[in-house]
Amino acid sequence: MRLSRILSFLLLSAFLAVSCKPFDDTELRKELSRQEGRLDELSGQVSSLRATLEGLRDSDRVTAVEPIMEETRVVGFSIRFQKAESMVILLAEPSSEGLVSVEINGDKVVFTLTDSSVISLPYDAAPVLTIAKETLFVAPGGYTEVSYTIAGGDAANKVEAVAEGYWKSEALPSGPFAGKLRISHADGSSAGKALVMVTDGSGRSSYRSVGIDLMSTDISAKNRYSMTLYQQADGSWMLDASQTAALAGAEPEGLYEPVENAPLVGSSAVEDVTYTTVVYKTYSDRELHMNICPAVGATEPTPVVFLTHGGGWWQGNHDSLLKVARYMAKNSGAAGVSVQYSLAGQTDTYIETSVQDLRDALAWLQDHAVDYNLDMSRVAFVGNSAGGHLSAVLAMTWPSAKVLVGWSGAYDIDKHLENWGLDVNRIQKYFHKRDATALAPYSPVLLIPDASDRAVKCMLFHGTADNQVLFEQGPLFSAALAAKGQAVQEEFYQYYSHGLVGSSDKNAECLQKTLDFIKDNL
């Protein structure tokens, strides 16, 4: 029993000495062997123990003293230091030399040996780390955050975290005594652990550590606000950290209630609307397509509703908004067109590539206007998310643009990228690593024409709790449009997230407002 207790404490000491490294059984075994040798040395002779303690007295200080118990009896102590590695010292057995007792006396730790000699070392209590939750649930591919506090220590406190497997952990301090831990999850692992510790800032000495259980939650649903809910082990629902942050402490009615929101456009609503899919541009490794839905029942050339899909600039295609294009062709008196464009990560693709693709699609429509009964002198641009950004670039620069409808779009591209980040290599390349000169021609807020030169009627939809394209983008662009004399209608929805138009309970309302706006202004 005693040996197993001692070995467990040695293993713990060795483990804590490995700061912010992957869990390595080989290293732990080496450390355990070294500590065992040190234990024999220190317990065997008073002179050796005294020399070690006196050496530490002049160069270090004790931060923690923990008794090693065998049932109800103290058999030794685990001693932690600010600089040196942890030390385990056993109490001397009867008729042997060694340690008699260890006591904390104010700012000193007093070691009494069997020869009645007393050695005092400076004592500075180790900071105590407290984490708000011991178990964290994280959405696949997402992250969550949990608060921590530190009692004691000083400004040199540093929190470090190590996670195993596919998990990643990061400390986000707000000061020396508090902060957050961000735990992220990559697909491929359902459970794991993280070890969080406070160090002295040098990376050499770790104080008391705290373990966190990590669980992946891959059962998801939507609430009425278009937010993704993740189910926890107890059946309750949670939001990821980015969505919680976007709510800024608000908890509206139905926040944690999964619902089935009606689609933006149902298949039955447009099944009688015909369309043609064409290849409008060809690269060496890909073709770009466009769905053209002529206005239903039109005998004269009609204006065009030009729809640009979202998908973070790296995913999505011309079919993403096909049902909306067909809906517009049936109800707006205009043709509906949904377009594919080059995406980040494809060969030689940058933001200017995507914009040029869309301009080439418009030019193709001009060249084939007679074939599809189109009046290209009147174009409405509609897009969601990344498509909202691209639609705004076109609306601000295309000579025949009359209407812009943005659904949760990014309009100050530099500010959006600052908030969104460029963690993926394909996005870094696509946006020229946020080079201001390269991005300026593709940031709608910088492209607005004066209304006296060319008027564009604008309608902007945005949810105040959007966690992907922050809500600030809507009011910022609206103010910039108004400053140029452009007419803008704000449709800002409190508590709604990025899928306000597309996956919320406001789908029908937003679609009807979009349709009415286009009919009134195109």
Q: Are residues 62 and 172 in the same domain?
A: no
First to last CA, the chain: 85
3-state secondary structure 467-508: CCCCCCHHHHHHHHHHHCCCCEEEEEECCCCCCCCCCCCCHH
Range of 94's domain? 2-122
Q: Are residues 63 and 190 in the same domain?
A: no
Q: Are residues 111 and 132 in the same domain?
A: no
| Measured distance CA(5)–CA(20) in Å, rounded | 26
Q: Are residues 291 and 307 in the same domain?
A: yes
Q: Residue 354 corresponds to which tokens in the numbers above? A: 């995507």
Q: Are residues 49 and 134 in the same domain?
A: no
| Measured distance CA(219)–CA(384) in Å, rounded | 26
Q: Are residues 31 and 68 in the same domain?
A: yes
Integer-rounded Cα Rg, in Å, for the chain is 32
Q: Are residues 113 and 195 in the same domain?
A: no
Q: For position 400, which CATH number holds?
A: 3.40.50.1820
Residues sharing a CB contact under 8 Å with residue 279, sequence separation 6 or more, in sequence order: 287, 288, 289
Q: Residue 357 corresponds to which tokens in the numbers above? A: 């693709």
Per the DSSP assignment, residues forming a β-bridge with 118 are: 112
DSSP 433: G
Q: Are residues 115 and 138 in the same domain?
A: no
The last residue of a domain, from among 104, 122, 140:
122
The verdict on residue 49 lying in a domain is yes
Angle, helices 473-483/413-420, rounded to nearest 10 degrees: 170
Q: Are residues 153 and 302 in the same domain?
A: no
The verdict on residue 242 lying in a domain is no
Q: Are residues 132 and 97 in the same domain?
A: no
Nearest to 256 by CA among 231, 235, 238: 238
Helix, coil or strand: residue 320? coil
Q: Are residues 98 and 212 in the same domain?
A: no
What is the residue-wise DSSP string for 135-146?
EEEE-TT-EEEE
pLDDT of residue 51: 83
pLDDT of residue 57: 85
Per the DSSP assignment, residues forming a β-bridge with 287 are: 282
Residues sharing a CB contact under 8 Å with residue 266, sequence separation 6 or more, in sequence order: 323
What is the residue-wise DSSP string for 324-352?
HHHHHHHHTSSEEEEE----TTSTT--HH
Q: Are residues 109 and 22 in the same domain?
A: yes
Burial of residue 382 (number of CB atoms within 10 Å: 0-12, 13-18, 19+): buried
Q: How many CB atoms lie within 10 A of CB 61?
A: 17
Q: What are phi and psi of 134, to 5 degrees?
A: -95, -15
Residue pointed to by tokens 């377009």: 339
The verdict on residue 268 lying in a domain is no
Nearest to 164 by CA among 207, 141, 195: 195
pLDDT of residue 189: 54
User: What are the pLDDT digits (tens) for 248-306?
Assistant: 999 999 999 999 999 999 999 999 999 999 999 999 999 999 999 999 999 999 999 99
The last residue of a domain, from among 97, 122, 147:
122
Q: For position 208, which CATH number holds?
A: 2.60.40.10
The verdict on residue 403 lying in a domain is yes
The verdict on residue 260 lying in a domain is no
Task: Kindly give the confidence (pLDDT) of every residue in the chain, 522 residues in length, as a single tens digit, with 9 standing for 90 and above.
Answer: 444 444 444 444 444 444 434 444 455 455 445 544 444 444 446 777 888 888 888 888 887 788 888 888 888 888 888 777 788 888 888 777 888 899 988 889 999 988 888 999 988 776 778 888 777 777 766 777 888 887 776 777 788 888 877 788 888 888 888 888 888 876 555 677 888 877 766 655 555 567 887 877 767 889 999 998 988 777 889 888 889 889 999 999 999 999 999 999 999 999 999 999 999 999 999 999 999 999 999 999 999 999 999 999 999 999 999 999 999 999 999 999 999 999 998 999 999 999 999 999 999 999 999 999 999 999 999 999 999 999 999 999 999 999 999 999 999 999 999 887 665 667 889 999 999 999 999 999 999 999 999 999 999 999 999 999 999 999 999 999 999 999 999 999 999 999 999 999 999 999 999 999 999 999
| Measured distance CA(393)–CA(169) in Å, rounded | 38
The verdict on residue 259 lying in a domain is no
Q: Which amino acid is at 117?
A: S
The verdict on residue 199 lying in a domain is yes
**Beta strand 488-493 pairing with 335-339:** unpaired
Q: Residue 107 corresponds to which tokens in the numbers above? A: 């700012």
The verdict on residue 230 lying in a domain is no
| Measured distance CA(405)–CA(341) in Å, rounded | 19
**Beta strand 374-384 pairing with 302-308:** parallel
- If one counts the domains in the chain, the total is 3
The last residue of a domain, from among 71, 91, 122:
122
